[in-house]
């Protein structure tokens, strides 16, 4: 999709993309809505993406930010945002990864200057190469969030996150579906 190729990593029994998703299209070629204004982004209930800070220079390193509706077949017309043969992970698939790493997010975090200092515990020993792509309105350099397909209610959905100041890889149960987060795809 969009001519993108991705590095991948085998982590335990799972095969993950080792980069954040960068596509502007679903796997069938249908364009995903690109919303640049916060006012539009916050009321939209269909799949959408944007660059961090609306700066296309962030795409190469950090990928795009997507709302949760992009991952959901009901709101996106039964489409897959990941390339054919890949999918957005369910909450239980994130749990498998978390258990494999012993909840040590440092094993997932990229080592380098992308993360703010102190980038606690970063080893990237799994080659997942988690980057701090931030979210819709902040966090570049300090925070990484990745969507799960799990819905909590009409307004909230699950995602996974980490911060520069520790090695926790935590589950968020209360993130608004309109929040722009990264997506990592998992092999079917």
DSSP string, 134-173: EETTEEETTEEEEEEEEE-SSSEEEEEEEETT----EEEE
What are the residues whose beta carbons fall under 8 Å from the beta carbon of 88, sequence distance 6 or more? 71, 81, 82, 147, 148, 149, 183, 185, 186
Token pair 């700066």 in the structure block, residue: 55
pLDDT bin (cut points 50, 70, 90) of residue 73 is: confident
Rounding to the nearest 10 degrees, give the CA dihedral for residues 98, 22, 186, 152.
Answer: 60
32 part of a folded domain = yes
Residue 1: predicted pLDDT: 61
- Show Cβ contacts of residue 92 under 8 Å, excluding neighbours closer than 6 positions: none
Residue 33 lies in a domain: yes
Burial of 80-90, coded b for 16+ CB within 10 Å and e otherwise, reads: bbbbeebbbbe
Mean pLDDT of the chain: 93
Q: What pLDDT digit, counting tens, does each position of 17-47 carry?
A: 999 999 999 999 999 999 999 889 889 999 9
pLDDT at 122: 96
Instruction: Note whether residue 22 is domain-resident.
Output: yes
For residue 3, being part of any structural domain is answered with no
Is 45 a domain residue? Answer: yes
Residue 2 belongs to some domain of the structure: no
Q: Does the residue 36 lie in any domain?
A: yes
The Cα 11–Cα 8 span in angstroms is 10
Q: Quote the CA–CA distance of 70 and 11 in Å, as a whole number.
A: 25
- pLDDT value, residue 96: 97
The residues, any chain, with a CB within 8 Å of residue 93's CB and separated by 6 or more, are 14, 186
Q: What are phi and psi of 146, to 5 degrees?
A: -130, 130
Q: Which domain holds residue 128?
A: 8-187
Domain total in the chain: 1
Place of tokens 């029994």: 13
pTM of the model: 0.95
- Give me the mean pLDDT over the 91-102 stretch: 95
- Those residues whose C-beta lies under 8 Å from the C-beta of residue 154, and which sit 6 or more positions away, are none
């Amino acid at each position: 999709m969009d001519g993108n190729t991705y590095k991948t990593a085998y982590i335990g029994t799972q095969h993950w993309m080792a980069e954040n998703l960068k596509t502007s299209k679903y796997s069938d070629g249908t364009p995903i809505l690109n919303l640049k204004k916060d006012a539009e982004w916050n009321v939209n209930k269909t799949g959408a993406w944007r660059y961090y800070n609306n700066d296309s220079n962030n795409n190469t390193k950090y990928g795009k930010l997507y709302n949760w509706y992009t991952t959901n077949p009901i709101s996106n017309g039964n489409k897959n945002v990941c390339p054919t043969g890949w999918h957005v992970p369910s909450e239980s698939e994130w749990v498998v990864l978390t258990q494999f790493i012993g909840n040590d997010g440092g094993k997932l975090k990229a080592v380098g200057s992308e993360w703010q200092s102190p980038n606690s515990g970063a080893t990237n020993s799994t080659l997942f190469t988690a980057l701090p792509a931030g979210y819709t309105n902040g966090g570049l350099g300090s925070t990484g969030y990745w969507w799960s397909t799990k819905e909590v209610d009409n307004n909230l959905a699950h995602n996974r996150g980490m911060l520069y100041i520790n090695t926790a890889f935590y589950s968020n149960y209360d993130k608004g579906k309109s929040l722009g987060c990264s997506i990592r795809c998992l092999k079917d």
